[in-house]
Amino acid sequence: MSVLIFVDQAEGQIKKSSYEVLTYGAALAAQLGTQAQALVLGTVKDDLSTLGKYGISKVFTINNTSLDHLDAQVYARAIADAATITQATVIVISHNQTGKAVAGRVAARLKAGLVTGAIALPDTTNGFVVKKSVFSGKAYANVSIKSTVKIISLNPNSFHTKTVDGTASIEALPVNVDASKVKTVAVNKVSGEVPLTEAEIVVSGGRGLKGPENWGMIEDLAHVLHAATACSRPVADAHWRPHHEHVGQTGVQIAPNLYFAIGISGAIQHLAGVNRSKVIVVINKDPEAPFFKAADYGIVGDAFEVVPQLTAEIKKLKGL
Amino acid sequence: MKILVCISKTPDTTSKIAFKEGNTKFDDNGVQWIINPYDEWYSLVRAIELKEKDASIVLHLVTVGLADCDPVIRKALALGGDEAIRINTDSSDSYYIAAQIAEVAKQGNYDLVLTGKETIDYNGSSVGAMVAELLDIPYISLATKLELNGSTAIINREIEGGEEVNEVILPLAVSCQKGVAEQRIPNMRGIMAARTKPLKVVEPVQINELTSITGFELPPAKAGVKLVAPDNVAELVRLLHEEAKAI
Ligand SMILES: Cc1cc2nc3c(=O)[nH]c(=O)nc-3n(C[C@H](O)[C@H](O)[C@H](O)COP(=O)(O)OP(=O)(O)OC[C@H]3O[C@@H](n4cnc5c(N)ncnc54)[C@H](O)[C@@H]3O)c2cc1C
Ligand SMILES: Nc1ncnc2c1ncn2[C@@H]1O[C@H](COP(=O)(O)O)[C@@H](O)[C@H]1O
């Protein structure tokens, strides 16, 4: 019996969401009175013994170049085999892009019950019940897992990383790895920007900003906060902003610590993508805008006047 | 070439979310059911576009659900597709649903199985991956573009902070999201044609559910918004820094 935590990496670097699942998995192992062990696939540049800082006793590695890049089929088999060899009873994965590709596959392979988008540690007083976000953040469901092996995928930004003293031992696992059937012919990364799904702070603009030429002040505010930029759906549909910035029910779902909604009315479909944000700030000239009902802080005012002042005040605070 | 599109029904996006029977069941009183937007706008429309380019493509739709799904699946057929299969059972366990779909998919020998990125009620994002595993075929999730070139699929998929382009030989399963296609409105001809398209009902295979929902909760209500005057932006920054500790 142990908890196996899948550590996701890209281009040899461990992702931020992985530290959240490591902390979560270690807390879960402590709750179950068992060990937290991590699994790293492919070539990673980070010093893996430092994962001990997240409460991990042992790091298993599978070194094979087929694992340097995601192919859900190859990854799932490696993760499932590692879980079987290490006799893991709980597998923890991030509900990020990689998790969405592989968690279901691992579950089907092991006939293990899966709860995706978990937001808290399971209740293990009577069975094994995991709380997850449903109806696009409008409610929670408590889901009981009945199988022997259980899989939890954790919503990004829902569990804070914590560090302790400790180093982990490292062990390579003898697992056969299939050749990948997926050929990656191009990777297009938006350089210099903070990735939206990983951002702690997001500055988002809506149709109230009138046109793409007015996004300079949104980018300035995002820049001083080291934040990602986002937008409402009509803004992306009108090509004022790139599609990958569209948040909401039909766009990207995010849960940052701080979300600025500027010139966005707060339609229910927009809220569905952002209502898991910890703190919401709304800037809208209409006091009746529905977004104020979902907000923690607000300014009823003209974005064109408020936003530049906001950027200036934050610069002052940060001594920039 | 045969394509299978997985269609699920969900409450209309503006539905009031409430629960009944001691918060153990979704209260569907007065709820309008729609095709899950990711299934309708993206995977189904893309499959129809592919068929419009290549008339030899056979396009089937599949849904796991009881008879109350029929209006939704007819609406999907009004957009396009040759026939629909409804697997006559209901469950909240994604593995149970995926195993039912996989059974139909195996019998139909499809080259391409399309799902939406997620259902907007249970937000699992897992049925497609499970179907792919049960069929032992590659799976590309969160696709934003899907092209076919003979027996090769060229797919853009979302990654953190960008996209990557993948090439995979069929058979293949793909989950679709925004970018793959544009929303379409069914026309009168489609609606008339859908009435006579076959809707086969098949009984489920015996599968044990691995999870079950024990109850629902609504999030705690927000304390209410704290408003700051527009000429006092410094106060907002102070609150965010000192009170919310968010900056
Ligand atoms: C099935 C479905 C799915 C959808 N999915 C999504 C989704 O994923 N994401 C999404 O965002 N939408 C989605 N929508 C659309 C959604 O219903 C709204 O239409 C959309 O969110 C509105 O965008 P907006 O707030 O930018 O624009 P508007 O509703 O036009 O609001 C603009 C706001 O700006 C304010 N404003 C104007 N000028 C100023 C100024 N100078 N300063 C400050 N404020 C100003 C106005 O008071 C207003 O509140 C979906 C709709 C449907 C039917
Ligand atoms: N009951 C169902 N019947 C048919 N397809 C489904 C069903 N449930 C989910 N799917 C498909 O799987 C996708 C992902 O669903 P989920 O894993 O529940 O978020 C959906 O967008 C559908 O394409």
pLDDT at A137: 84
The list of chain B residues with pLDDT below 70 reads none
Q: What ipTM was reported for this prediction?
A: 0.93
Pick A2-172's CATH classification: 3.30.390.50, 3.40.47.10, 3.40.50.2300, 3.40.50.620: 3.40.50.620
List the pLDDT tens digit at each of the 320 positions of chain A. Answer: 899 999 999 889 999 899 999 999 999 999 999 999 999 999 999 999 999 999 999 999 999 999 999 999 999 999 999 999 999 999 999 999 999 999 999 999 999 999 999 999 999 999 999 999 999 888 999 999 999 999 999 998 888 898 999 999 999 999 999 999 999 999 988 766 788 888 999 999 999 999 999 999 999 999 999 999 999 999 999 999 988 899 998 888 899 999 999 999 999 999 999 998 999 999 999 999 999 999 999 999 999 999 999 999 999 999 98
Q: What residue spans define the domains of chain A?
A: 2-172, 196-318
Residue of B24, B176, B233, B241 best to disrupt the A interface, most CBs of A under 10 A: B233
- pTM, two decimal places: 0.93
Task: Map chain A to HEC letters.
Answer: CEEEEEECEECCEECHHHHHHHHHHHHHHHHHCCEEEEEEECCCCCCHHHHHHHCCCEEEEECCHHHCCCCHHHHHHHHHHHHHHCCCCEEEEECCHHHHHHHHHHHHHHCCEEEEEECCCCECCCCCEEEEEEHHHCEEEEEEECCCCEEEEECCCCCCCCCCCCCCEEEECCCCCCCCCCEEEEEEECCCCCCHHHCCEEEEECHHHCCHHHCHHHHHHHHHHCCEEEECHHHHHCCCCCHHHEECCCCECCCCCEEEEECCCCCHHHHHHHCCCCEEEEEECCCCCHHHHHCCEEEECCHHHHHHHHHHHHHHHCCC
* Residue B132 to residue A144, Cβ atoms within 8 A: no
Q: How far is the CA of B69 from the centre of ligand 2 (A)?
A: 13
Contact A212, A236 (CB under 8 A): no
The CB of B42 under 6 Å from ligand 2? The reply is no
One CATH from 3.30.420.310, 3.40.50.620, 3.40.720.10, 2.60.40.10 for B2-219: 3.40.50.620
Ligand nearest to the CA of A240: 1
A interface mutation test: which of B136, B160, B217 has the most A CBs within 10 A?
B160
Q: What pLDDT, on a 0 to 100 scale, did the predictor assign at position A8?
A: 97
Per residue in B45-91, pLDDT (tens digit) is 999 999 999 999 999 999 999 999 999 999 999 999 999 999 999 99
For residue B13, the ligand 1 atom closest to its alpha carbon is: 1
What fold characterizes domain A196-318? Rossmann fold (3.40.50)
Taking the CA of residue B127 as reference, the ligand 2 atom at the shortest distance is 17
- Domain limits, chain B: 2-219
Q: How far is the CA of A240 from the centre of ligand 1 (A)?
A: 14
Q: Which residues pair with A130 in a beta bridge?
A: A143
How far, in Å, is the centroid of ligand 2 from the Cα of B166? 23
Confidence (pLDDT) at B156? 97
Q: Round to whole Å and give the CA distance between A14 and A22.
A: 11
Mutate to test the pocket of ligand 2, among B6, B66, B85, B117 (most ligand atoms within 8 A of CB): B6
Query: Residue A243: its pLDDT value, please?
Result: 86
pLDDT on residue A160: 87
Strand ranges of the sheet holding B172-176, from the earlier edge strand across to the other edge: A183-189, B162-169, B152-159, B139-149, B172-176, B112-116, B2-6, B58-64, B83-87, B199-202
CATH topology match: A2-172 vs A196-318: yes
Nearest residue, CB atoms, A314 vs list B11, B159, B247: B247
| Distance separating alpha carbons of residues B61 and B116, to the nearest angstrom | 13
In this structure, are residues A37 and A18 in contact, taking their beta carbons and an 8 Å threshold? Answer: no
Which chain B residues touch A256 with a CB distance below 8 Å? none
- For B167, nearest residue in chain A (alpha carbons): A183
- Closest ligand to residue A250's CA: 1
Q: How many CB atoms lie within 10 A of CB A202?
A: 27
Nearest CA in chain A to B158: A97
Atom number in ligand 1 closest to CA A210: 38
The owner of tokens 């859908």 is B194
A40 strand-pairing partners? A7, A61
Which pLDDT belongs to residue B222? 81
Q: Rounded to an integer, what is the distance from CA A155 to the centroid of its chain? A: 6
**CA dist B236 → A257, A284, A294, A308, A313 (Å):** 16, 14, 17, 13, 9
